Structure 1
Amino acid sequence: MEVYVLAVVVIIVALIFDGVNGFHDAANAIATAITTGALKARTAIIMAAGMNLIGALMGTAVAAVIARDIVDMTQVSAEQQLFLVIAALLGAIGWNLITWWFGLPSSSTHAIIGGLMGAGLAEQIAGNDVHIKLAKVVEKVIDPMVLSPVVGFGLALIIMVILNKIIKKANLKETDKFFRSAQIFTSASLALGHGFQDAQKSMGLMFMAAAPVGFFGIQPGQTEIPLQIILMASLAISVGTMAGGQRIIHTLGSKITVLSPQKGFVAEAVSSAVLFISAYFVHAPISTTHTVTSAIAGTGASDDIRAVKWSTLKNIVMAWIITVPSAGLIGFMFEEVFRMLFM
């Protein structure tokens, strides 16, 4: 296949992944606001799409991690690099669609990282000069993958306990009204954080596809993400968000714990804070899904440990655990097929 045509195909598939990410993860930012009645579904989705668009334009540090710190493939041909990226993308898209179908809020972040590692492993086994940067994966992926839900759960639990004491004697009707209004801002902030984090992953993949052939004026050794890629990724995740994600909205909104406006507000505020801090200061591609789900569980546990539907949470956690190997396996298989057919 002509390498320039292949590069275009890979970029298109990356944009599709970005769009799938948008509708798959749209629920993260808006499920609590819809469930508590703070926003109507259509209004929430439109708001999330707009904030995702803005968030995607806010930085590229996470994109650089995806592009440089997962797999080193600089020593193989442009064609091999492109097939590796498209295999990784197909692995991530496949796993996202499977978990979306079953209504499980799995991580698009870890799906694409799993896809990259699986495709890279296939090339390593074949004897090609491709290397998985295990030390960087542990530092930038595994550690944040473990810490972000723990922090999300712990902070939400602590803040919710404090908030319950503060509002204990307040009028419940007035309190609910106040926090429903406040949720408009926290869900917008969470959508902004989702765009900031998740669109950057597609930017990194598009950069990996464009760099070997010099698209968008990328020079050898360049690390800066071109504006064209930033804009395309921003628009794609925004359009994808408009598609909704009703299955996962239902899971997050009602199958983990009974949500009140106060709990929704705290879960959204904590999640957006963790997303922004990790992107700005740690430059780690953490999972919006993991953070939001754990924060929701934390607010539920503030009332009573039995208020959390642990059976549902167990299924979600199992989906988290198998995301990297499952997406990796799909990416591995696609890379093997491409290597047999085209390389």
Structure 2
Amino acid sequence: MDHITFLVAMVIVTALAFDFTNGFHDTANAMATSIATGALRPKVAVAISGALNLVGAFLSTEVAKTISGGIVDDTLVTPGMIFAGLVGAILWNLSTWLLGLPSSSSHALFGGLIGAVWVGAGRHGVHFDKVVEKILIPAVASPLVAGLAALGATYLAYRITRRARPGTVSKGFRAGQIASASLVSLAHGTNDAQKTMGVITLALISCGALGHDAGPPVWVILTAGTAIALGTYIGGWRIIRTMGKGIVDIESPQGFAAESAATAVILTSANLGFALSTTQVCSGGILGAGIGRRLAEVRWGTAGQMALAWLVTLPAAAAVGALAAGVVVHGGTAGTVLIALAAVAVALVIVVLSRRNPVHADNVNSAPTTRLRPASPAGAAV
């Protein structure tokens, strides 16, 4: 612990803050369809999801190793660069949450790190071949695979149960959704909590507290899992509304199919070390489930806005990370404090804006009325 300086401690705290935003930003991935179909009550859903995110954090560390020693050169990275990258990721997460857009927390983190390391260490500090192999290719392939799997599963679900009583079918698939949504939550903890583990491990390597190519210590796994679980329990209601009601009107067979497809893709990729976006996988599954049901209304405008956000996320977070790194690297302690204060100020402004049009557990199932803006009715919420 002698190697952990004040700056490294700030990086760890900021990484856990990102993990918390990742939790409430991505709650929708696991629970949006179950909440939309009534399979689970909203507050029960986020409680189950939070607990299983914590459990999932202990199942694998392959993705953490991809981040700590894969996409950037850990011999060139400094704690200041990591801090700057995290600032870019957090601010993008909060901005898209305010708009109710299910963008990728994972790509926000990767973009922030890439931008910060590029500015701080030069282009050779980023392993672009690994970025393509471990991030960009999975980003394109994973939602397509999940979408096709969900489309086929949805078609079969309606085909097999076409002669059964609708009430019995809905009841059965709602029960199935509890299991499938729980598995998505477990998979989310396995995949996304590891990203913060990887960042903290990278910081510990950069200051000499861990050796190169080291995996995350147990205390890192525990704190990262706890942070994402707490964020998940808070409930990112704005994004839950968009994914549950904004893309397609989900019925229970579709929800079960979308969640099952997403779980299979996420768990497979986590074991292979692919740091994919659970948001993109789950959104692809929901879209595929919408296409798979005859006469289902798919809101292609919302889907297009989400796709645009996916394209913009990595470069936008990279730009903020690069800007922050320029100040931190050249400004030393004063620059770090300046960026920290600026980030806190922007975050507070976003939270205040969210209070004008809050979305919460009581109104989350009302249909979104405005795109790319905070959704309406009254109450209070995250």
Distance 1:47 1:200, change over 3 A: same
Instruction: Pick the aligned partner of 2:164 from 145, 158, 170.
Output: 170
1:7 aligns with 2:8: yes
CA distance in 1, matches of 2:293, 2:284: 15
> How many aligned residue pairs are there?
331
CA distance in 1, matches of 2:30, 2:170: 19
CA distance in 2, matches of 1:300, 1:50: 29
CA distance in 2, matches of 1:234, 1:154: 31
Name the aligned partner's letter for residue 190 of structure 2: F
CA distance in 1, matches of 2:295, 2:103: 23
CA RMSD of the aligned region, Å?
1.5
Show the counterpart of 2:255: 264
Which digits, 9 at most, give the CA deviation of each residue in 1:43-65, with x for residues without a partner? Answer: 00100000000001111000000
| Cα deviation, residue 242, structure 1 | 1.3
Show the counterpart of 1:109: 106
Which digits, 9 at most, give the CA deviation of each residue in 1:285-325, with x for residues without a partner? Answer: 11110011111011111134872110000000000000000
Asked if the contact 1:67/1:207 (under 8 Å) is kept, the reply is yes
Asked if the contact 1:11/1:210 (under 8 Å) is kept, the reply is no
Show the counterpart of 2:24: 23
| Cα deviation, residue 222, structure 1 | 4.5
Show the counterpart of 1:97: 94
1:86 aligns with 2:76: no
Which digits, 9 at most, give the CA deviation of each residue in 1:155-198, with x for residues without a partner? Answer: 11111112211111111000000111111110100000000000
Show the counterpart of 1:294: 284
SS at the partner of 1:106? coil
| Cα deviation, residue 336, structure 1 | 0.6
Counterparts of 1:32-71 in structure 2, within 5 Å, are 32-71=33-72
Q: Unaligned stretches of 5+ in structure 2?
A: 334-382
Counterparts of 1:1-343 in structure 2, within 5 Å, are 4-75=5-76, 81-125=78-122, 131-215=125-209, 218=210, 220-280=211-271, 282-304=272-294, 307-342=297-332
Show the counterpart of 2:337: none
SS at the partner of 1:223? coil
Asked if the contact 1:33/1:184 (under 8 Å) is kept, the reply is yes
SS at the partner of 2:78? helix
CA distance in 1, matches of 2:165, 2:62: 45
Asked if the contact 1:120/1:130 (under 8 Å) is kept, the reply is no
CA distance in 2, matches of 1:55, 1:106: 22
Name the aligned partner's letter for residue 23 of structure 2: G
CA distance in 2, matches of 1:197, 1:237: 11
Which digits, 9 at most, give the CA deviation of each residue in 1:16-54, with x for residues without a partner? Answer: 011110011011111100000000011001000000000
Distance 1:306 1:170, change over 3 A: closer
| Cα deviation, residue 123, structure 1 | 2.2
Asked if the contact 2:138/2:274 (under 8 Å) is kept, the reply is yes
CA distance in 2, matches of 1:303, 1:204: 39
Question: Which moved further from structure 2: 221-230 or 151-160?
Answer: 221-230
| Cα deviation, residue 224, structure 1 | 2.2
CA distance in 1, matches of 2:4, 2:261: 45
CA distance in 2, matches of 1:212, 1:326: 25
Name the aligned partner's letter for residue 4 of structure 1: T
CA distance in 2, matches of 1:260, 1:305: 12
Give structure 1 regions of 4+ aligned residues with deviation exceeding 3 angstroms.
none
Show the counterpart of 2:377: none
Asked if the contact 2:249/2:296 (under 8 Å) is kept, the reply is no
CA distance in 2, matches of 1:312, 1:283: 31
Question: Which moved further from structure 2: 299-308 or 269-278?
Answer: 299-308
SS at the partner of 1:74? coil
Q: What's the TM-score once normalised by structure 1's chain length?
A: 0.93
Name the aligned partner's letter for residue 11 of structure 1: I
Name the aligned partner's letter for residue 146 of structure 2: G
- Write 1 or 2 for the structure with the bigger share of helix: 1
Name the aligned partner's letter for residue 94 of structure 1: L
Asked if the contact 1:123/1:130 (under 8 Å) is kept, the reply is no
Q: Work out the percentage of aligned pairs sharing the same amino acid.
A: 39
Name the aligned partner's letter for residue 46 of structure 2: I
CA distance in 1, matches of 2:217, 2:80: 22
